[in-house]
Structure 1
Amino acid sequence: MYFSFLLYRAQKIHLLESEAVVLRAASFNASPIFINNEWHASVSGKVFSTYNPATGEKICDVQEADKTLESLDTGKPFLSSFFVDLQGTIKTFRYFAGWADKIHGSTIPTDGEYFTLTRHEPIGVCGQIVPWNFPLVMTAWKLGPALSCGNTVVLKPAEQTPLTCLYIGALIKEAGFPPGVVNILPGYGPTAGAAIASHMGIDKVAFTGSTEVGKLIQEAAGKSNLKRVTLELGGKSPNIIFADADFELAVEQAHQGVFFNSGQCCTAGSRIFVEEPIYEEFVRRSVERARRRTVGNPFDPTTEQGPQVSAEQQSRVLELIQSGITEGAKLECGGKAPPSKGFFVEPTVFSDVQDHMRIAKEEIFGPVQQIMKFKTIEEVIERANNTEYGLAAAVFTTDLNKAMTVSAALQAGTVWINCYNALSCQCPFGGFKMSGNGRELGEIGLKEYTEVKTITMKMSGKKS
């Protein structure tokens, strides 16, 4: 048995746990939930629970639509689930569905009597491990390209947030997919996830989650059958605000870039570098905005921020906040868990943050904004790149030359200019350094799910 949370009230429901010991290629006989277009009981009989993190209570009966499940299971505001997660999921599936008959190779001029062409062929069975912060969207990011390229899938949702993935299983069956094309296996990372990463019958694994776990997956893939690996891992993204930036835009975008999804976002722009002339005013306005942020019931349309995904995540965020205070950063607002039931953390702003502090180095994954001062372009580029991560970054300035110079120098897979978290299913997404390898989305992300075959033919009569 394992537990997952309905976050608003921390309600718990029991879900069947996949057993690693009897996994067989794309047909994981031990799985409890959705295999070969059928719902199965776990061989072990073990179950786990899912909770509402906003109350700590167990979820009992869920008969709502997918967007409601996403809010129940993750605690994110309902409007965000609808307009960001659900709409983004629909767009992603439609985008990759459009690629299915457009995946073609090329012809290559070769010398002498030879003619060469390439084919993009499916990899085979793809293991996909989905994170808890965006379970619905991340399922689409992985299922879409894999299926478009002709692969079969074994997908493991995060144990904290399995409900929307399971609902997608029902939709897949309703849509008429052949049995065995998509198999969904809830379970814990050390059992179900580890089995996917090490199984000899799986040809590729795609994982979104922490850098620590990503290393384990890459190691398991190498020790087994050297399966293909795509990793989208952690981040500590710099957001650079120059004095000539549109000030109102920069304040709001910096706020949203950190606090979106309760700060539980791998691209969160938590390291905010502000040019010295506007630093004090930027801090003041950022604190005002954080104090206005509404925290509470995800189904209240006025709510901007729901709870953290679990009690463990709430505790980690609060521990890192305390480390910031201990190390000498100035706590401007927030910093505590409100007295209400659930896994909430107050919107928190630190100023006078130094690069060596834990809150400036570690991925917090919570509603914690760190604001730092800089003087020169050279200084801020060096400090922005002084991290083991390289997932995303942003630059706010009205000087186009400055924007392009800085964006070219930043070691990040995605750089936004005068915006933040502007993601599109047409554009490749992934990280430098320890933020992962490979790309998701776009044509580049699609090709991650194919093997390229070169075919060379001898042709009599061809001379050049």
Structure 2
Amino acid sequence: MSQYESRLFINGELVAPSKGNTFPLLNPATSALVADIPIAEEDDIDRVVAAAEKAQPAWARLPARKRAAVIRKFADLMDQNKDRLSELDSVCMGKPLHDGLGDVQEACDITNYFAGLVELADGETSLNSADTLNISMRQPYGVVASIIPWNFPTMIWCHDVIPAAGAGNAVILKTSEKAPLGGVLLAQLAFQAGFPPGIINVVSGPGQTGALLSAHMRIRKISFTGSTGTGRAIMQNAAKSNLKAVSLELGGKSPLLVFDDADLPKTAAAAVKSITFNSGQICTASSRVYVQKGVAADFKKLVAQLMLNLRLGDPTDAKTNMGPQADSKQAAAIARFLEAGAKDGQALVGGKPALEAGENFIHPTVFANIPDKSKLDLEEIFGPVMVLHEFDTEEEAVRRANDTEYGLYASVFTKDGSRALRVARALEAGNVGVNCTSPDGAYELPFGGWKASGIGSQKGSTAVLEWTQAKSVYINHAA
């Protein structure tokens, strides 16, 4: 029997799936069996929706300050269990423990921030019409759903579940097949903090389970974080069912622009961290780097050396910089990109799987001389693979940076303040770093993508409002 709890969490209880079907979860660093993960099927989804519908009205009627107090207690419980949460994410998808602790800390911070927003989710009034008081109010959807990815399972769990529940909704969250364990523990901690049974529920399963949520007629909104292709499928299911509201945070192909006056050592360090953090499995990773020609040679040397200095290995070792890819499927997909890169250009460093470290490890890689229309430039690799380009002028750099279907994150490095602001405005992305790059961000600002990188936003001052509907009420008070 596994040492890890993996059952579904429905209506305040840990339960087995109705049909008893499971799939094996393997540790990507060792290939050892971690747990058998339950598959929620149609009966389970109907059951959890019914429980959520029953619980939601009373929760929504609870004063906002009381909902906020529960959320703050949940943040405290997360902090008390941060080592366990980090361990669960590490055994599931290979994240180094020290990185996992950072994720949990950010989850605690943003949860406390959301608690404050719960009491601010109010409406407006208007006296512009004679003899009429016009008001708007914000009300929860009712039963909502969230499908989260495997790369930041604790943090993104909190991005969706906490503002949704804080707004007065009942939430059904589906964990990723690659990292399902932390979500179950978080649901238990939420219940311990005081969320009533049925308000926060967690199910697991493959894509078919997510399809049941996106097509369900009694779920009123769904949020998805993951690939653009799956996001399109969720939108189609939502449209074909009850036209439920949809929020999407999807893929990226983030450009990083380096001008000849940039601080090259700091820029190189930021670029390498961005593409190797979490083994490159981050949607905002700076995978396309454009360097002004006068400093390109020096920048390449700096980046290559930093890549070579990274230590791959056991995620539980404090000295490890990069763990494995999330599973064998992910590692194989990246290996195919490495093969394409070898045909299209030149690997300055890396360019092959790191089999000496383990089956699912990839050497951090830098490619040069890659055509702009290569699949390495057009498709999201989701691994530690950087493509370096050179440019002459600012206009050329911006044009090439924007020549993508994605628009999630972009960066510009320069000491010229006017150019920094000018380029930041010109870049077609929902998030832009100036002399910094991903994973840098701020939870008090909205996070979302342009173009094929998403619809709507997470985080920021409107995070709770995103999980409410506006209602206008017109009160005629004529004598």
Q: TM-score, normalised by structure 1?
A: 0.90
Say which is worse superposed, 443-452 or 223-232, in terms of deviation.
443-452
Counterparts of 1:325 and 1:125 in 2: how far apart (Å)? 49
1:93-104 maps to which residues of 2 (within 5 A)?
A: 93-104=111-122
Equivalent position amino acid for 2:12 in 1: N
Q: 1:364 aligns with which of 377, 381, 385?
A: 381
1:175-324 maps to which residues of 2 (within 5 A)?
A: 175-189=193-207, 191-324=208-341
* Matching of residue 51 in structure 1 with residue 26 in structure 2: yes
Give the deviation of 1:14 after TM superposition: 9.6
Give the deviation of 1:248 after TM superposition: 1.3
Give the deviation of 1:371 after TM superposition: 0.6
Instruction: Give 1:154's aligned residue.
Output: 172
Counterparts of 1:287 and 1:446 in 2: how far apart (Å)? 43
* Matching of residue 414 in structure 1 with residue 431 in structure 2: yes
Counterparts of 1:295 and 1:301 in 2: how far apart (Å)? 11
Counterparts of 2:463 and 2:341 in 1: how far apart (Å)? 37
- Provide, for residues 375-421 of structure 1, a one-character-per-residue CA deviation record: whole Å limited to 9, x for no partner: 00111111111000000100000111000111101110000000112
Instruction: Give 2:47's aligned residue.
Output: none
What's the secondary structure of 2:422's corresponding residue?
helix
Q: 1:423 aligns with which of 428, 434, 441?
A: 441
Give the deviation of 1:60 after TM superposition: 5.5
Instruction: Give 2:12's aligned residue.
Output: 37
Give the deviation of 1:424 after TM superposition: 2.1
Counterparts of 1:164 and 1:37 in 2: how far apart (Å)? 16
Give the deviation of 1:230 after TM superposition: 0.2
Kept in 2: contact 1:34–1:184 (CA 8 A): yes
- Provide, for residues 49-70 of structure 1, a one-character-per-residue CA deviation record: whole Å limited to 9, x for no partner: 2111011111269x97111111
> What is the RMSD computed on CA atoms of the aligned residues?
1.7
What's the secondary structure of 1:65's corresponding residue?
helix
1:100-115 maps to which residues of 2 (within 5 A)?
A: 100-115=118-133
Instruction: Give 2:346's aligned residue.
Output: 330
- Provide, for residues 136-194 of structure 1, a one-character-per-residue CA deviation record: whole Å limited to 9, x for no partner: 111010011101111110000001110100111221222121110011001111x2100
Counterparts of 2:441 and 2:209 in 1: how far apart (Å)? 30
What's the secondary structure of 2:117's corresponding residue?
coil
Counterparts of 2:127 and 2:310 in 1: how far apart (Å)? 60
CA spacing shift, 1:13–1:360, aligned 2, 3 Å: farther
Kept in 2: contact 1:130–1:139 (CA 8 A): yes
- Provide, for residues 276-316 of structure 1, a one-character-per-residue CA deviation record: whole Å limited to 9, x for no partner: 10001111111011000111111111111000001010001
* Matching of residue 116 in structure 1 with residue 134 in structure 2: yes
Equivalent position amino acid for 1:52 in 2: N
Counterparts of 1:13 and 1:436 in 2: how far apart (Å)? 37
What's the secondary structure of 1:97's corresponding residue?
helix
Kept in 1: contact 2:350–2:363 (CA 8 A): yes
Kept in 1: contact 2:96–2:322 (CA 8 A): yes
Kept in 1: contact 2:279–2:384 (CA 8 A): yes
- Provide, for residues 69-114 of structure 1, a one-character-per-residue CA deviation record: whole Å limited to 9, x for no partner: 111212111111112x110110111111112222111112322111
Equivalent position amino acid for 1:381 in 2: V
Counterparts of 1:459 and 1:246 in 2: how far apart (Å)? 65
Say which is worse superposed, 44-53 or 338-347, in terms of deviation.
338-347
Q: TM-score, normalised by structure 2?
A: 0.88
The answer to which structure has the higher helix fraction is 2
Equivalent position amino acid for 2:189 in 1: L
Equivalent position amino acid for 2:114 in 1: F
Kept in 2: contact 1:67–1:81 (CA 8 A): yes
Identity %: 38
Say which is worse superposed, 361-370 or 98-107, in terms of deviation.
98-107
